[in-house]
Structure 1
Amino acid sequence: MGGKYRITGDTYPRMRRPRHRRRLVLAGIGAVVVLGLVGWGTLQLIDVFTGGDKSASAADRRNCPTAKPSVAPAKALPKPAAIKVNVYNATTRTGLAKSAAEELKKRGFTIGEVGNATKEYDKKVPGTGVLLGAPAAKNTSFTVLGTQLVGTVQKTDTRKTGEVDLILGAKFKAFSTPKEATAAMTALTKPAPAPSPSC
């Protein structure tokens, strides 16, 4: 054989099959795998953002009880006449306890002792006042009396009686207006809607 294909010595031209077909097959398989992964990921994202299986959610809605408007029972608070209030003055203003007791009496409270505060509280109440009573008064008598005077501090002691001490402080100026006190009491006793079941 002549020309460039002429055989000389023991050197032979290398004849190989073209590898283009194998590369095309591998590229095609890779493309299919990538497209499959992208499609699967897209389906997962759609499932997350649309809330999952629609048939399951429809079944849950069928099994969920219909929400009915219901109200929670109102708090059982005592009437003002059932609350005995001792009024004490912890300020330097004279006659403050007497005038405050008269106003509370007009509003229906039962008045007990009226006078100056003890040394423990005398001139030591910087706010509007302190409500002092037995632990049982925290969610009963304190709540009702607190509607008459905003900003009072509640404290308990070891007394066994149901009476409550109102110790007037330096920032006391006046009780809430009857309208404000009534509105506050209504808000406390008004039944609150019970939460509806979540499905």
Structure 2
Amino acid sequence: MAEEPSGRRARARARRDPTEWHGQRIVTETDLGAVFAAEERDRRALTSKRIRHGVVLLLLVGLLGAAAFTAVGINRGDIRIAALEPTPRPTETCPAGPFDYQDPSSVTVNVYNSTDIEGLAGTAAGQLRERAFVVAEVGNRSVDPTGMTAIVVSGPDGKANAFTLQRTIPKSVYVVDKRKGRTIDIVLGSGFSAIAPAESVDKAPGGLVCFAPATPAPTPAPAK
């Protein structure tokens, strides 16, 4: 039987193509190089992906740690964020009263330090406790005025308590806010040194002081 032309053509192609042997594909060096190159690319891509994931994880852990540190600092009063604290401002109309001086043991006060003087709030709180005031909270608070003695803050129901504290801390100024109850705040400035001695406190009825007294200008020396 004569051999079919298609079979002869196939064998002729096989003899011409060195990559085929009896109809089977022979793996060449070029094929192996392509496989190894693809594996190397995959390995590098996997390594790069793992590195990116590791960096993202470290950043997330760092952010969580910073957030926790900041939250603890704010809670303890070590970190102050001015945007979170309302800035007390003098009232337009100062309550004239008259208000009666209250028993200090009935006055609850929060003591805040607005300066960089370490321990200022703690010192004032200790002095107020010795005078029988009830100190509730001691911490830090930012305010706009600088160089002032102190700011006394209360709600509408705490004006008599604020008056009592103002008589105890001369040169302090009063600010009203919308809080409920009679608890008051004292925000200390760099001008504060100590509360007034007990024997010098004026206990006569009177009004609140909403603006710091003006400091007289120094008298110029006579011309020579």
TM-score (ref. length: structure 2): 0.45
Q: Distance in 2 between matches of 1:110 and 1:171?
A: 23
Matched, 1:89 2:113: yes
Residues 123-146 of structure 1 deviation map (CA, whole Å, 9 limit, x = unaligned): 7343110001102222x0111111
The higher-RCO structure (CA 8 Å, 6+ apart) is 1
Q: Distance in 2 between matches of 1:127 and 1:180?
A: 21
Aligned to 1:20: none
Kept after mapping to 1: 8 A contact 2:100/2:205: no
Q: Distance in 2 between matches of 1:107 and 1:92?
A: 25
TM-score (ref. length: structure 1): 0.51
Find 1:137's aligned residue among 145, 151, 158. 158
Aligned to 1:115: 139
Residues 42-82 of structure 1 deviation map (CA, whole Å, 9 limit, x = unaligned): xxxxxxxxxxxxxxxxxxxxxxxxxxxxxxxx964431111
Kept after mapping to 2: 8 A contact 1:90/1:124: no
Matched, 1:154 2:178: no
3-state SS of 1:147 partner: helix
Kept after mapping to 2: 8 A contact 1:89/1:169: yes
Q: Distance in 2 between matches of 1:124 and 1:164?
A: 19
Letter in 2 for 1:147: R
Consecutive unaligned residues of structure 2, counting only runs of 5 or more, are 1-97, 207-224
Identity value in percent: 30
Matched, 1:188 2:210: no
Deviation at 1:113, TM superposition (A): 0.4
Cα distance change on mapping 1:126 and 1:188 into 2, 3 Å: same
Kept after mapping to 1: 8 A contact 2:115/2:189: yes
Letter in 1 for 2:138: V
Deviation at 1:109, TM superposition (A): 0.3
Q: CA RMSD in A?
A: 1.9
Letter in 2 for 1:131: V
Aligned to 1:179: 199
Q: Distance in 1 between matches of 2:179 and 2:100?
A: 22
Letter in 2 for 1:106: E
Q: Distance in 2 between matches of 1:126 and 1:135?
A: 27
Deviation at 1:161, TM superposition (A): 2.2
Kept after mapping to 2: 8 A contact 1:88/1:115: yes
Aligned to 1:45: none
Kept after mapping to 1: 8 A contact 2:166/2:173: no
Matched, 1:126 2:186: no
Q: Distance in 1 between matches of 2:100 and 2:183?
A: 18
Cα distance change on mapping 1:86 and 1:125 into 2, 3 Å: farther
- Equivalences for residues 43-54 of structure 1 within 5 A: none
